[in-house]
Structure 1
Amino acid sequence: MGSKSFAGFGHPKGNLFAAARQPSKRTRTVIRASLTVKTRRFSPRETVASHHPGRAATRRATMGGLEIRERGKRMRLDGLVQGWLTRTPGLIETLFDRLPDVLFYVKDQQGLYLWANQTLIDRAGLLGVDSVVGKTADQLFPASGLSTVAQDLEVIETGRPILELLRLYQTKRGDRYWCLSSKFPLRDDAERIVGLAGLSRDLPRPNERHQSYRRLKTFLEFVDRGLDGSVRISEAAEHAAVSMDTLGRLVHEVFHVTPKQLLMQKRVDKACRLLEDTSMSITDISAACGYADHSAFSRQFKVATNMTPAQYRSFRT
């Protein structure tokens, strides 16, 4: 099939961006081009100013001399900018191929890959996009693919996106990566869902020299000591003498997740080690990871890994 542009897949007009829903009149996005007198140039050092969680604040980003603002949580590029992106052959593919810690993909209504970036291709142990197109996740990642396909079809059937879901996935070689995964339905001009676009972003290793990491030391030690019990985030925050708001900010600065996600990550990591390295029963592992209810442990483990504990042990041993 050669080098493919995913702009031509799955849409009669050959443009996946055109298939996405156009901004509504209520969308408060302002895009100012450099030809207007109201434009303000930003230095290359300026980045997105993220809004405070839970508040309708203004978020600002720069992109090629454009200023994009949003009041609230929704920010979209208008048709003009979409046109700029899609009229340059191969630009979008090249941009996503330059992200070594992001898996990006587009799928059709059956959950078949239409396009994937180079990072996903590499981690699937394949050689090129031709070996991905037309396959499903269970064919690329047998360990957890069936659950991923079911999740894809749920997004396509319901139209509800998945945002920043913390999950642990495994490559073809057995390497494990924690990531934040998001999936969004794609729509055509008639508002029909024609597929989905998704990405999974690797969680970076925490910087132990970061000032916020040092402030979290007492909190982290308390959590690690209490993993085999019913440790609560509020208890750990009180023990570390930090407010819940401050704790949330510090944890996100260092680990890029919420405190609740961090606790779940630690418990699942411990469960993975015990499943791989011991012959303990799954019930005993559940208790050792702080779950009083075996079924609750299995549900949480499957949410994170797309496998049951028994399936994970079978795959890894």
Structure 2
Amino acid sequence: MTASTTRPETPVSPLLALPGAVAGDGVDAPVAAHYGSFNGEQRTLESGEGFVDLSHHDVLRIEGPERLTWLHSLTTQHLLDLAPGVVTQALVLSPQGHVEHEFRAVDDGAALLAWTEPGRAADLLGFLERMKFWTEVTLTDVTTEHALVWRGGGEQPGRGYRLVPREQLTVFAEAAGPACGLWAFEALRIARGEPRFGLDTDHRTIPNEMGWLETAVHLDKGCYRGQETVARVHNLGRPPRRLTLLHLDGSENRLPVVGSPVLAGEKQVGTVGTSARHHELGPIALALLKRSTPVEASLLVDGIAAAQEVVVDPEVGRHFRPPRA
């Protein structure tokens, strides 16, 4: 069986025609950054209402009777008994345990649909194609057929991440509104301490550093590539780096550039990833810091003063967030 590995061009979202829509930039340019009030849109999402257009994300379909057992053997996630309709997250690691691919997926009983960051499907499909051998699976990029959205409302049916037919995106928006932009979604994601692959990670990232042991790694499943690194760091409890939430000085009328060095005094202790303006916390960012960096240390990132809030505990390497006072 063959795979379609040529990535279709991601269509510009028709929801950019909605009143007040302002397009994003960079890889997020095909969808709306906001619809006029990103602070109000954050509050809407926090209330459990509204939806976010994430239709610029790549989507791939994996079909065949062996799809779940095959993916189970290749990824960090336990997929043998994945029930239809349940969204899961998985990673593909290098032999050294570095994260090479990240995706979320849902199975419908006949095929698995997985979504990745914009522009990442071709690389993931290329890897999967090389690992097929004689496995009965068919791989297809279906980005032009399916649109990813996120809908507020927690664990209620039809809420959270879901895929809708791309041709029905406008109809979905009319029923699911109000529309909220990516800036609001990103601010809430960063505040939760959830990293975005390729922006909050680098080529050296291991799952233990990012808090992904809780969401994307099954510690009791069988062997997979890179498992030795994950298990060793988990058992020793000392990841080389740790994901941290930075509270930035609000007197600066800008946000740090992705990849900027994070300094403790004159010493570089990490790099910053994504950042946003939160409607309550003010400017915030995620950063990967050396584990040895004291959690109480004041930092400087791209010329902006920053204080730390623990996301990944430097001692145990498990996802940890003390309750906010």
Q: TM-score range by the shorter chain?
A: under 0.3
Q: Which has the larger radius of gyration?
A: 1
When the two structures are superposed, what TM-score results if normalisation uses the length of structure 2?
A: 0.25
Q: Which has the higher helix share?
A: 1
Higher strand share: 2
The structure, 1 or 2, with the larger RCO (C-alpha pairs under 8 Å, 6+ apart) is 2
The normalised TM-score by structure 1 is: 0.26
